Amino acid sequence: DFKTTMASVEFPSIFLNASGVNCMTVAEMDEMINAACTGGVVTKSATPQQREGNPQPRYYQLEHGSINSMGLPNAGFPYYLDYVTREHAKPTILSVAGLQMSDNIELLHKIQASEYTGLTELNLSCPNVIGKPQVAYDFEETDALLAEIFSFYTKPLGVKLPPYFDLVHFDQMAAILNKYPLTHINTVNSVGNGLWIDIDTEKVVIKPKQGFGGLGGAMILPTALANVRAFRQRLNPSIKIIGTGGVTSGKDVFMHLLCGADMVSVGTALLHEGVGIFQRLTDELATIMAEKGYTSIEDFRGKVQDF
Ligand code: DHB
């Protein structure tokens, strides 16, 4: 099977849920941990206080993916900190998302002061909170935030990034990230602010933000692969990569790994298929590897070839 060590944490598999899917409640997080072939669980991004999120409908399944504007519904930071601080059979990643910069600092001070010693992931890329831009599209703000965080924070910390679409942006963001002792990046978050229309009703399909929402699923796989590859080419080797976006099959996992992903997470397809998907992805990846004569992920990780 596919054991992996990321940032000194031993995961029994490379597979995780994408934050937001199957990780809002203790029951869902336990289900992730107990399911076959999962590496552990990433929590729903926690805000300082519990939130209801945006009005419904706020998630819609598309032919080749999904659109959502959830608006960070979550049970609040204390709920998730309590969960990850308890003993579990597999590792946890605590995802946190400030609604403003001071929240991010406050949340990380609380984690620093807590008993939790595991991984934390700072979500710099929620596209769905009305009036709040995706932090990691503001390069100066991201740099200043990380500088402040690492002036006091000493526990393992990664960041969740939005997709970038310009090679210069990869250069610029990687140069910023390389200044800090990050354990990992998680790339990509949803492709922000897509739009879908039901042609019978001539209406948008989700209620918040006049129908604008984050795209996920198969349609974003090429964007996700580009981000994993571009960051693997630019980041310090010490910064690991969780590849997220567009995974529905073992082939997709194989491509993420060829691009250099250390772990792979699944969102839209997990929502549609349930936690049984991780056994299927494991079997499909194992079949591809056997056909190619690979005995370990290290035989091909990051080794995508130029044309
Ligand atoms: C939500 C969506 C995201 O893509 C994210 O990173 C965080 C939160 C949401 O709408 O809840």
Q: Which residue's CA is the closest to the ligand 1 atom numbered 3?
A: 126
Q: In this predicted complex, what is the ipTM?
A: 0.93
Q: What confidence tens digit (pLDDT) does each residue in 67-90 have?
A: 999 999 999 999 999 999 999 999
Q: Which atom of ligand 1 is nearest to the CA of 190?
A: 4
Q: Which atom of ligand 1 is nearest to the CA of 97?
A: 7
Active site residue 259: no
Distance from the alpha carbon of residue 72 to the mean position of ligand 1, in angstroms: 5
Tell me the pLDDT of the chain averaged across its residues. 98
HSE-up of residue 154 (Cα within 13 Å, Cβ side): 4
Distance from the alpha carbon of residue 301 to the mean position of ligand 1, in angstroms: 29
Distance from the alpha carbon of residue 128 to the mean position of ligand 1, in angstroms: 6
Q: What confidence tens digit (pLDDT) does each residue in 234-278 have?
A: 999 999 999 999 999 999 999 999 999 999 999 999 999 999 999
